[in-house]
Amino acid sequence: MSETASVRARILQFNPLVGDIAGNAERIIAELDAARAAGVDLLVLPELALCGYPPEDLLLRPEFMQRVEAALEHIRPATQGLALVLGYPRAALGGLFNVAGVWRDGERLVEYAKQVLPNYSVFDEKRYFQPGAQAVLFEHRGLRIGLSVCEDIWHEEPGRQAAEAGARLLVNLNASPFHAGKAAEREALLERRAREQGLSILYANLVGGQDELVFDGASFAVDAGGSVVARAPSFEEYGLDLEITASAQPSAVHARDAERVHPESDASIYAALVLGVRDYVRKNGFSGAVLGLSGGVDSALTLAVAVDALGPERVEAVLMPSRYTASMSIEDAEEQARRLGVRAHLVPIEPAFRSFLDLLEPLFEGAAPDVTEENLQARCRGVLLMAISNKRGHLLLTTGNKSEMAVGYATLYGDMAGGFAPIKDVPKLLVYRLARYRNSLGEAVIPERVLSRAPSAELRPDQTDQDSLPPYETLDAILRRYVEQDEGIEAIVAQGFEEAVVRRVARLVDRSEYKRRQAPPGVRISERAFGRDRRYPITSGF
């Protein structure tokens, strides 16, 4: 190519709605028009941007693929005057492929089929797709450009094929979900790949919430020397503009070169929770959210996330004290609602609880009070909250954390009742850190007493969580090893934990699988969340 030639590229962090193929296509056409008006001649969208990721078993419906083809035909004329690199599913040669297609001046130039199909963690692409087998290049303004899709970049062969075929630039389309530390992993990997293969790389990632997954964007460009030359911000739609010179070295011309957030930072985790809640409410058509506000730290953090996601006018808090609720719990909950500007309703559950006790008295005659009465209080609250959810069209947010969900310290059809669980993947100690992080952003919206009191379900006199569970410092450490790292009991004990405590925690985790199967989805922020990640049998003799 000429030494004076250059490509003006835009990496578009796109937030699609899974299955809304026609709607996504209209937005892509609008982005093509905007890119053309800005002088962009190469627009790059992420993996499966046309249909959203993951489409799961929608891919098995013939009508789904017909809509994909119709949308591509609709988009085709809008590519006059520039090139579009777009991810979509493609039925061809008797199979289904995850492809990166290139369209320019109304014509389809090439299609590259993803070669490495992930089938671990939250991914099950081998259920749907067949792998591609070879490099595909196209030439644009004299520059030879190779294509790859997501998992391909984590393996040497696809990029090596592109380099050997003569590519000077590699475009990598991604639907890479967030977990703490992922952004740094991606950048370190691509820096190494660029140096190994002598290629500049454009990394385009989806953004947005999709059920349990959150895609953080954080798209970036790496030059052939392995240096990151531009980054897009995380957790928002954004067009990262770059000028790619004759030597295929990208340089930012309109990039917000955001400072790298520490990969384990509370800021990134909190942002993921906010985006996950916002998109679940928005994409599923709820008018707002409602939750039970107890005066404890879990519901306090959940309320703060909900307000930051939706605005205070779209969030309702319901205080439902029982005969065992401390006055300070009501005071702290009311104060947090006031600081956040949220409507708060005080609905004591004593009348409902008393009615249930009266109804059950003949059946329970002679039986001493136990956890049954504790759970009954939680279920009174669940009924009230679900009624408000139905009447208002609000999504009911549950407030349980990962530590509780792991060991079953939650009530089916009580505090587990709801449609979405924002902090389902957040261990208890991290709940406290995130609450303090939120308070550090300005006004302390969570009262300090909420953060300093011993946690309690307040379902019996003078109750604390540590009456039923090990200290959270111990519990979270054991759970991290047993749940997230799949370590056995003996291995955990060998690291200095008391054997009886480890065995008890492991037994609680195993026995609570049936509860977790009935829990609502929640935002995934770790490498091993309950739900799509961790799939264990309910009935097991292991």
> Taking Cα atoms as reference points, which of 257, 142, 155, 242 lies closest to residue 200?
242
Given the residues 31, 51, 125, 150, the one annotated as active site: 150
pLDDT by residue (tens digit) across 377-389? 999 999 999 999 9
How do beta strands 220-222 and 250-252 pair? unpaired
* Secondary structure letter of residue 247 according to DSSP: T
- What pLDDT score does 254 carry? 56
Our answer to whether residue 424 is catalytic in this structure is no
Per the listing, tokens 């054991």 go with 478
What confidence category does residue 453 fall into, taking pLDDT thresholds of 50, 70 and 90?
confident
3-state secondary structure 427-446: CHHHHHHHHHHHHCCCCCCC
- What pLDDT score does 1 carry? 42
Residue 240 has pLDDT above 50, yes or no: yes
The tokens describing 4, both together, are 């004076």
CB-based contacts of 2: which residues, under 8 Å, 6+ apart?
142, 246
Residues of the chain with CATH 3.40.50.620: 267-469+512-517
Please, what is the average pLDDT of the chain? 92
Residues 178/258, Cβ–Cβ less than 8 Å: no
- What pLDDT score does 261 carry? 45
pLDDT by residue (tens digit) across 395-414? 999 999 999 999 999 999 99
CB-based contacts of 273: which residues, under 8 Å, 6+ apart?
305, 422, 423, 426, 434, 523, 525
Burial readout 155-179 (b: 16 or more C-beta within 10 A, e: otherwise):
eeebbebbbeeebbbbbbbbbbbbb
CB-based contacts of 177: which residues, under 8 Å, 6+ apart?
122, 213, 214, 215, 216, 524
Given the residues 51, 114, 182, 402, the one annotated as active site: 114
Residues 15/279, Cβ–Cβ less than 8 Å: yes
CA–CA gap between residue 155 and residue 167 (Å, rounded): 17
> Taking Cα atoms as reference points, which of 267, 239, 268 lies closest to residue 177?
268
Average pLDDT rounded to a whole number, residues 484-506: 95
- Domain 267-469+512-517 in CATH: superfamily? HUPs (3.40.50.620)
CATH placement of domain 7-262: 3.60.110.10
Residues of the chain with CATH 3.60.110.10: 7-262
- What pLDDT score does 540 carry? 85
pLDDT by residue (tens digit) across 63-79? 999 999 999 999 999 99
CA angle centred on 274, ends 230 and 533, rounded to 5°: 85
- What pLDDT score does 2 carry? 46
- What pLDDT score does 202 carry? 96
Residues 189/153, Cβ–Cβ less than 8 Å: yes
CB-based contacts of 531: which residues, under 8 Å, 6+ apart?
212, 424, 516, 521, 522, 524
The tokens describing 183, both together, are 């952004």
Give the DSSP letter string of 343-410. Answer: EEEE---HHHHHHHHHHHTTTSTTPPP-HHHHHHHHHHHHHHHHHHHHHHTEEEBP---HHHHHHT-S
Our answer to whether residue 47 is catalytic in this structure is yes
> Taking Cα atoms as reference points, which of 196, 136, 194, 148 lies closest to residue 174?
148
User: What element of type H or E holds 171?
Assistant: strand 169-174
Terminal Cα-to-Cα distance of the chain (whole angstroms): 63
Our answer to whether residue 114 is catalytic in this structure is yes
Residue 421 has pLDDT above 70, yes or no: yes
Residues 515/541, Cβ–Cβ less than 8 Å: no
Average pLDDT rounded to a whole number, residues 147-154: 96
- What pLDDT score does 463 carry? 62
- What pLDDT score does 93 carry? 78
